Each structure stands twice: as structure tokens, then as C-alpha cells.
């Protein structure tokens, strides 16, 4: 009996010290899955450069990021759907938005026999997600894709099951593309989807589309690239079909007239012949007041790094860099964090 207690105590002591270095500064963050690939890269690189700072980011969806930040269980959050005026008003703490990268939401699909790029009109995407267009050989789709043999199969629609900024971006675009969508469903991180299966995170949606023939889903560009799944071109406000890439996203951002002071802006359905219509910024949500000096300095340090060195990793992972004007504005805004 006594021996067991001694062993238990030793195990306890061992476990308590396992992994403890010279007590690093731990920051917990959670939120969007949209930028998860670049964030995980950044936090990894930053940790290697600053071994005493550990930023544990969990990709649980933008809704989760907002929620956990407000509950105070994480030090900062991340979301691709900027918080609404209502949400900001109801929040017990003041929250600042800091754009990090520019990304694209793309329609990815898995249609046996179709390997090229499909063109999607705005009406087509809205119809598919409204449930009014149910088959791949619907005229709205075929007329934009002459020469492609589309099967008469039912379309398996995939959307997000969790609160998602990617959903926000996509539904924001659909609300602009279709009045029907705007009135029936609206935009948000979690909407009442008329049809479809739910996948958890960008990861879940990509996984479902990859495994389910005849399916369509909306995900961030990098997820399609990393998993070699095809994605289509989307018709922009100027009527042109654009395939998502860095140039298209940058053009959409450039068409934005002025970045508001609080950095909350929507660039979906941007004007311009080369703009990719489902582009968006994504934001880190930082509390305006951080009482812990160590954490505050670490976060500010990371932000400064992110705006300069961090941006160099963007393009390698198919995210576009922030426009110079935005970077300048943000660098000034970092001082708002007290």
C-alpha cells in the first residue's frame, strides 16, 4: 500500500514537470479555420525564434473564437467574419480587429468524370445552396460550361456545421449575389442552411467533399491546394469568371476605397474585371485591455512581427499579403492595446 503511494507520488511529480521548460509564456488562442494553415505556420516559426513564447491556437471556427474570447477562456481570438455592431456592443470587453491575411473562399467539388475547372455563375451558387438547383446538369450550370459533360446526378451540398467565418464570407457573397438568399437565409457565421451536410471546420468540409462523389463545398483556397481537390471559377461583379489566386484577391482588396478605422470591412463581390468575388480579410480579435504585462507585450510583439516578417509566408500558403496601406494603419493601431 505504502509502496503504491510512493510510486503514485513520483508519477505525479514526474507528470507535473513533464514538458516544463524555463516556464514559457503561454498564450491560448482559438478561432477561424480559414487561416489555420498560415497561423499554425506563424506560431511555429515565432516559437522557434522566441522559444519562451508559446501560442497555442486551436482551430474551432470563427464562432468559437468570438465566443471563447468573450468568455475570457482564451487570450485572443480569430475570425473571418468581423464582429457585428450588435456583437461588439454586447461584448463585455472592448475588442479590436487586426487583419492578418487576405484569402479566398472557393467552391470545391468532386464530380466523377469532371476534372477541369467549372464556371459558376452567381445565380448558380445561390441556387445550389438554396436547394433550388438540384442536379449537376441544370441549365444554369451547363450554360456557363459549354463543352463539359455534366452528369444528371443530384448535387450533394456541403456546408459548415460549426460557427464559421468562412461561412460568413460565403453567405456575405451569396447575399450580394442573390436577393432570394438575402431574404431567406442572410449572412452570418451560423445560418439556417436550406440543404446540405455539415462538416466541422474547413478541414471537415474538405474531408467530406473529398470522400463524397457528386458533392460541392466552400472552403479556403489553401485547403483545396493542399489536398489536390478541384475548384471552380466564380463569376464576379463585372461578369467575368475568375479562378481564385493571389492576383484576384489582391485586386479585390485594392478596389476597396478606404479601410475603416476599426478594420472591419467586406470585400466580397468587389468591382473590377480581375477581382475574385469571394475574397476576404481575416482578423485577429485582440482585447483592447490586457492586464497581464507579459502577455500584452508578447501579443504586441507578435503583431509587429506578423505585419512584416509574417507576411512573407503568406504566398507560400496561397494567402495574399496585406496591402501596404493597411499594414501602416495597423502598425499604428497596435498602440491601442493597453
Partner 1 sequence: MSRVLLLWRKFLNVVMLTLTGVAAFGVVAVLFLILGYLVWNGGKSLNLNFFTQLPKPVGETGGGMANAIVGSLKLLLLAALMGLPVGLMAGVYLAEFGGKTFSYVIRYTTDLLNGVPSIVIGIFAYSLVVLPVKHFSAVAGGVALGMMVVPITVRSTEEFLRAVPGSLREGAMALGASKWRTIATVVLPAAKGGIITGVLLALARVAGETAPLLFTAFSNRFWSPGWSQPIASLPVMIYTYAIAPYDDWHRQAWAAGLVLLALVLVANIGTRIVLSRGGASRSA
Partner 2 sequence: MLTLTFAAGILLLTSMLVYELWMNSHLSRAKFGWMFFWTRTWDPIFDNFGAAPFIYGTLVTSIVSLVIAVPLGLAAAIFLSELAPRRMSDTISFLIDLLAAVPSVIYGLLGIFIIVPLMRTTVGPLLIGSLGHVPLLGQFFKGPNYGVGFLTAGVVLAIMVVPFIISVSREVLLTVPREQREAALALGATRWEATWKVVVPWARTGILGSVFLALARALGETMAVTMVIGNDPKISASLFAPGYTIAAVIANEFTEATGDLYLSALIELGLVLFLMTFILNGLARLLIVATDRGGGHPS
User: Which residues here bind partner 1, judged by CB under 8 A?
Assistant: 11-12, 15-21, 23-24, 26, 28, 30, 36-37, 40-41, 43-44, 47, 54, 56-58, 71-74, 199-201, 203-204, 206-207, 210, 222-223, 226-227, 229, 317
For partner 1, the closer of residues 21 and 335 by Cβ is: 21
Q: Among residues 12 and 260, whose Cβ is nearest to partner 1?
A: 12
Among 64, 99, 103, 127, binds partner 2 (CB under 8 A): 64
Q: Give the count of beta carbons closer than 10 Å to the beta carbon of residue 273.
A: 11
Q: Of partner 1, partner 2, none, which one does residue 197 interact with (CB within 5 to 8 Å by kind)?
A: partner 2
Q: Which is nearer to partner 2, 72 or 213 (CB)?
A: 213
Contacts (CB under 8 A) with partner 2, residues 159-188? 161-163, 186, 188
Q: Which is nearer to partner 2, 212 or 227 (CB)?
A: 212
**In the complex with partner 1, which residue's Cβ is closer, 124 or 224?**
224
SS (H, E, C) the chain: CHHHHHHHHHHHHHHHHCCCCCCCEEEEEEECCCCHHHHHHHHHHHHHHCCCEEEEEEECCHHHHHHHHHHCCCCEEEECCCCCHHHHHHCCCCEEEEEEEEEEEEEEEECCCCCCCCEECHHHHHHHHHCCCCECCCHHHHCCCCCCCCCCCECEEEEECCCCHHHHHHHHHHHHHCHHHHHHCCCCCCCCCCCCEEECHHHHHHHHHHHCCCEEEEEEHHHHHHCCCCECEEECCCCCEECCCHHHHHHHHHCCCCCCCCCCCCCCCCCCCCCCCCEEEEEEEEECCCCCHHHHHHHHHHHHHHHHCHHHHCHHHCCECCCHHHHHHHHHHHHHCC
Stretch that binds partner 2, among 21-29, 95-103, 141-149, 206-214 (CB under 8 A): 206-214
Among 59, 169, 58, 48, residue whose Cα is nearest residue 106: 169
105 near partner 2, rule: CB under 8 A: no
Strands 197-199 and 76-79: unpaired
Q: Residue 88: name its binding partner from partner 2, partner 1, none (Cβ under 5 to 8 Å by kind).
A: none
Residue 127 engages partner 2 in binding (rule: CB under 8 A): no
26 binds, among partner 2, partner 1, none (CB under 5 to 8 A by kind): partner 1
Residue 235 and residue 112 in contact, taking contact as beta carbons nearer than 8 Å: no
Residue 141 binding target from partner 1, partner 2, none, CB below 5 to 8 Å by type: none
Query: Nearer to partner 1 by C-beta: 229 or 254?
Result: 229
User: Residue 211, interface with partner 2 (CB under 8 A)?
Assistant: yes
**Among 40-48, 113-121, 196-204, 326-334, the segment contacting partner 2 (CB under 8 A):** 196-204
Of 138-146, 194-202, 272-280, 325-333, the segment contacting partner 2 by CB under 8 A is 194-202
The yes or no reply on residue 282 touching partner 2 (CB under 8 A) is: no
Residue length, the chain? 338
Of the two residues 16 and 335, which places its CB atom closer to partner 1 in the complex? 16
Positions that interact with partner 2 (CB under 8 A): 30, 60-68, 70, 87, 154, 156, 161-163, 186, 188-193, 196-200, 208, 211-213, 215
Amino acid at each position: 500500500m505504502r509502496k503504491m503511494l510512493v510510486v503514485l507520488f513520483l508519477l505525479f511529480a514526474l507528470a507535473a514537470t513533464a514538458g516544463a521548460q524555463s516556464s514559457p509564456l503561454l498564450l491560448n488562442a482559438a478561432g477561424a479555420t480559414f487561416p489555420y494553415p498560415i497561423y499554425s505556420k506563424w506560431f511555429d516559426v515565432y516559437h522557434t525564434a522566441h522559444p519562451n513564447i508559446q501560442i497555442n491556437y486551436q482551430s474551432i471556427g470563427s464562432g468559437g473564437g468570438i465566443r471563447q474570447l468573450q468568455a475570457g477562456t482564451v487570450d485572443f481570438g480569430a475570425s473571418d467574419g468581423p464582429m457585428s455592431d450588435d456583437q461588439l456592443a454586447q461584448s463585455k470587453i472592448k475588442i479590436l480587429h487586426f487583419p492578418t491575411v487576405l484569402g479566398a473562399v472557393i467552391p470545391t467539388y468532386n464530380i466523377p468524370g469532371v476534372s477541369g475547372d467549372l464556371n459558376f455563375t452567381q445565380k448558380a451558387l445561390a441556387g445550389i445552396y438554396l436547394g433550388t438547383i438540384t442536379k449537376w446538369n441544370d441549365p444554369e450550370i451547363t450554360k456557363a460550361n459549354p463543352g463539359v459533360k455534366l452528369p444528371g446526378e443530384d448535387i450533394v451540398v456541403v456546408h459548415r456545421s460549426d460557427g464559421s467565418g468562412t461561412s460568413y464570407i460565403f453567405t456575405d457573397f451569396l447575399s450580394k449575389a442573390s436577393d432570394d438568399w438575402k431574404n431567406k437565409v442572410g449572412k452570418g457565421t451560423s445560418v439556417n442552411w436550406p440543404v446540405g451536410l455539415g462538416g466541422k471546420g474547413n478541414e471537415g468540409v474538405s474531408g467530406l467533399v473529398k470522400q463524397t462523389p457528386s458533392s460541392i463545398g466552400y472552403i479556403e483556397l489553401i485547403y483545396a491546394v493542399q489536398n489536390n481537390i478541384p475548384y471552380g471559377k466564380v463569376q464576379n461583379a463585372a461578369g467575368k469568371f475568375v479562378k481564385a489566386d493571389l492576383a484576384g484577391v489582391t485586386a479585390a482588396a485594392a478596389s476597396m476605397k478606404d479601410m475603416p478605422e476599426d478594420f472591419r470591412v467586406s470585400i466580397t463581390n468587389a468591382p473590377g474585371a480581375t477581382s475574385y468575388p469571394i475574397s476576404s480579410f481575416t482578423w485577429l480579435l485582440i482585447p483592447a485591455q490586457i492586464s497581464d504585462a507579459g502577455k500584452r507585450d508578447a501579443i504586441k510583439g507578435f503583431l509587429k512581427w506578423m505585419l512584416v516578417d509574417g507576411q512573407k509566408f503568406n504566398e507560400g500558403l496561397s494567402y495574399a499579403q496585406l496591402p501596404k496601406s493597411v499594414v501602416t494603419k495597423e502598425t499604428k493601431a497596435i498602440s491601442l492595446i493597453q
